[in-house]
Amino acid sequence: MPMLKKLNKAALDPGLFWFWAYARLLPHGATRRGSLLARRAGLRGPHFILSFDCDTDADSRVVQTLHARLRSNGLSPLYAVAGEVLDAASDAYQNISDDGAVFLNHGFRRHAALDKGTGEVTSTYFYGDVPVDDWQADIRRGHEAVADILGQRPDGFRTPHFASFESPGELATLWRFLTALDYKFSSSTRPLFGLRHGPFFKRAGIMEFPVSGCLSEPRQILDTWGLVRGGSGTTQRLREELRAYLKIMQTGQPLLLNLYMDPVDIAKDDAVIDLLAGFAPYSVASFAATLAQAHHG
Ligand SMILES: [Zn+2]
C-alpha cells in the first residue's frame, strides 16, 4: 500500500496509527501484549482458528482434498467463500459442510479475478468503493447463497479484502448492519485491531475477531496472500512464522492465532500441512467455541 494511503487511513483512525508505530518499533512487545490481552479476554491457554478464504475456482478445485487432509490431522477449518464461487462448485463445499465445517458469509459477488494462464489473482470489488446499498445487498445475497446452497444459516461474516474497509465509520456501519441481520461474529479486521483491542471485542452487538499478524512483523497479516504471493512465491516465510507461533503456544501461554489462508497456496505443500497439524491440540472449530472457552459463550 502506498505511504500516502497508509497515512490517510491513520488520519481516519489516529488510535490505530499509534499501534501501527508500536508494532513496527517493538515487535516483541506486541507478542507480549497479544498474550496479555488474550488472558484479559478470558483465554486460559493457546487457541487456534484456521479459516480459508475461497475467492477463485482454483481454490474450489483443491479445497475438498485439503479439507480431508486437515481433518485427518485433527484440524477443523472454517470457510469464507464468495457466493458466486460457492455456487460454481457447490458439490465440493456441500461435502465440506456435511462434514460439519462452519461457513462464514463472505459476500456474494466474486472479488478476485483469476488469470487461468499464469494463476495470478487480481483483487476486484471493494466494499469501500461502492455505495452502502451495494455492499449491503452483497452481504444479503452472500447470506442467501450459504443458506440456499449449504442449508447453513451463517452467523459470521468476513468482508472481502482486508485493510480496505475499516475506517471507524465503515466498521460501525458494518457491525450495525450485521447485528440487524442477526449475525454474531465478524472476522474482517487486520492484526492492528487485535493489538489494540484484543483477540476479540464486541462492537454494536458483533464480536469481532481480527486476523493475526506475524510475530516478526505484527502489523503484517499472517496469510498466504502476503507471505507467499506477495513475498518470495514460496512458503518459507509462512512456515517460519507458523513455527514461531507454535513455539509460543507450546509453552501454554494464552494466545489466539486467528489464521486465514487461501487454499490453492498451500494445498500441495506437505511442509505447511505438517506444520498446521502441530496446532491440532489448540484447534477450535468456530468463533462461538472460542468464546465458550473464554467463558463468554
Ligand atoms: Zn475473499
Query: Residue 267's closest CA among 15, 12, 50, 60?
Result: 60
**Has this prediction a pTM greater than 0.75?**
yes
The per-residue pLDDT for 8 is 54
When divided into structural domains, the chain yields a total of 1
Q: Would you say residue 277 lies in a domain?
A: yes
How far apart CA 55 and CA 52 sit, in angstroms, is 9
The per-residue pLDDT for 233 is 79
Q: Would you say residue 24 lies in a domain?
A: no
| Cα 291 to ligand 1 centroid, rounded to whole Å | 24
8 Å CB contact between 46 and 255:
yes
| Cα 179 to ligand 1 centroid, rounded to whole Å | 21
Q: Would you say residue 127 lies in a domain?
A: yes
| Cα 213 to ligand 1 centroid, rounded to whole Å | 17
Domain with 114 in it: 30-293
* Range with the poorest average pLDDT among 23-27, 158-162, 225-229: 23-27
The per-residue pLDDT for 161 is 92
| Cα 159 to ligand 1 centroid, rounded to whole Å | 7
Digit-coded pLDDT (tens) for 63-75: 999 999 999 999 9
Neighbouring-strand partners of residue 207: 185, 202
| Cα 21 to ligand 1 centroid, rounded to whole Å | 27
Average pLDDT over residues 223-236: 82
How far apart CA 96 and CA 32 sit, in angstroms, is 36
Q: Would you say residue 22 lies in a domain?
A: no
Average pLDDT over residues 253-264: 94
CATH of the domain at 155: 3.20.20.370
| Cα 251 to ligand 1 centroid, rounded to whole Å | 33
